Amino acid sequence: MSDYDQSLWLNTCREHVESAPLTSDLSVDLAVIGGGYTGCSAALTAARAGATVCVLEAQEIGHGGSGRNVGLVNAGLWVRPADICAHLGDADGTRLIEILAAAPSEVFSVIQTHGIECEPMRKGTLHCAHSGSGLADLKIRHAQLRQAGAPVELLSSDKTYQRTGSATFRGALFDPRAGTIQPMAYVRGLARAAAATGARVHTHSPVMTMRHVDGQWLLETPQATVRAKSVIQATNAYHRNLPDTAPAYVPVSYFQFTTAPLSDNLRASILPGTEGCWDTGLIMTSFRMDHDGRFILGAMGNLEHAGSAAHTGWIKRKLSELYPQLADQPLQQGWHGRIAMTSDHIPKITRIGPDAVSIHGYSGRGIGPGTVFGRMAAESLLAGDPALLPVPAVAEHTERWTRLRHAYFETGAALTHLIKAR
């Protein structure tokens, strides 16, 4: 049974977009498959440019990872800048680093421009060193990010304690460019803004088949067909149907639990600057506060997996370890989502046919990159210029041993949570 309905983000979302299943045939310039950050950003961009566009979402807007994630608006990817250049080459790598460095500014600008009620807090993020090796990694990241022009700061353990209120970390990397949002509200706000600008948004309209005929795309949904000049497939880790264009990735689950709103006294002692945080652990832990003072704690793991008991047992112990003053705080029902992880942790754009691309693989960094990749993909297709894409499109992307690697991550998370923080 899905825990989607238990999500804090779903139940506190103040944004709404009018939508309904597609019931009559439609002809558009751009069809977007998937109603997450990438798809909704692409639709908003195309509609603002005067193109006709429709979004076809199999469930509800934000039903996938866009509505289930931590809500950290980061300036970059999971990997270090040098690794990005090593995989893409210096020119393409440096360009992507620069594009994503500006991603938080773009996200917060879109929020302001369209009045999206998503609790935006641009107070930065803290990447916290959970061990000596974690601190060594942060020192390398700090040096590379500074060389790339990022205004990041490496904090001592004492300063990290002052910023987090937790004595468990060796140090932290502070990035003032970043921040936090209510992720479900942001994606639904993007969809609402796209619809207000002229885009057609259709939920519960899964694309069953897609084929290119006589210079145009035919997308069949259960009740109607869309004819489109161009297509963006933005299904990421929630792809369904369309086996010929299925993205290749390793599915990684991530869960979160939340407290009720904390008292003013407790709130004052925990993350007084309201930064969003995650640690350097291989089985990563994240923590943050929301606008109403709820403390949200998350980690890798699937709450519907056999290891869910280990995850739920760990979460309370971890809460007490980070903040002993929260030991008696009850945790509300948790929820989880799927991440599309690639081997190099760099998003992929694949050509799936004439004037059609598929975008996936944010590896847990979907908010900023998804917003930017969606916009730039729409601009590229409308202009007929592949050079406008944020990374070069490839004919095919493959991943090996995806099931085995998925099992490795889930088993590792379950074992870690069974043993750690006891």
Which pLDDT band holds residue 197 (cuts at 50, 70, 90)? Answer: very high
| Residue environment code for 154-168, b if the CB has 16+ CB neighbours within 10 A, otherwise e | bbeeeebbebbbbeb
408 vs 238, residue with greater confidence: 238
Token code pair at residue 139:
């020192």
**Predicted structure pTM score:** 0.96
Residue 103 sits in a domain whose CATH number is 3.50.50.60
Query: 46 with 53: CB under 8 angstroms?
Result: yes
Which pLDDT band holds residue 102 (cuts at 50, 70, 90)? Answer: very high
Give the model's pLDDT for residue 420.
Answer: 67
Q: What is the average pLDDT across 266-290?
A: 95
Token code pair at residue 158:
């004492």
Q: How many domains does the chain have?
A: 1
Instruction: Return the closest-CA partner of residue 334 out of 376, 293, 286, 379.
Output: 286
Token code pair at residue 213:
């005929």
**Percentage of the chain modeled with pLDDT above 70:** 99
Q: What is the average pLDDT across 100-115?
A: 98
pLDDT for 421 beyond 50: no
Write out the residue range of the structural domain in which residue 283 sits.
4-419
pLDDT in tens, 301-354: 989 877 788 888 899 999 999 999 999 999 988 999 999 999 999 999 999 999
> 343-347: long-range contacts at Cβ-Cβ below 8 A with a sequence spacing of 24 or more?
343/250, 343/399, 344/79, 344/83, 344/87, 345/77, 345/78, 345/79, 345/83, 346/77, 346/79, 346/84, 346/87, 346/88, 346/96, 346/391, 347/77, 347/373, 347/390, 347/391
How many of the other CB atoms lie within 10 Å of CB of 286? 22
Q: What does the mean pLDDT of the chain come to?
A: 95
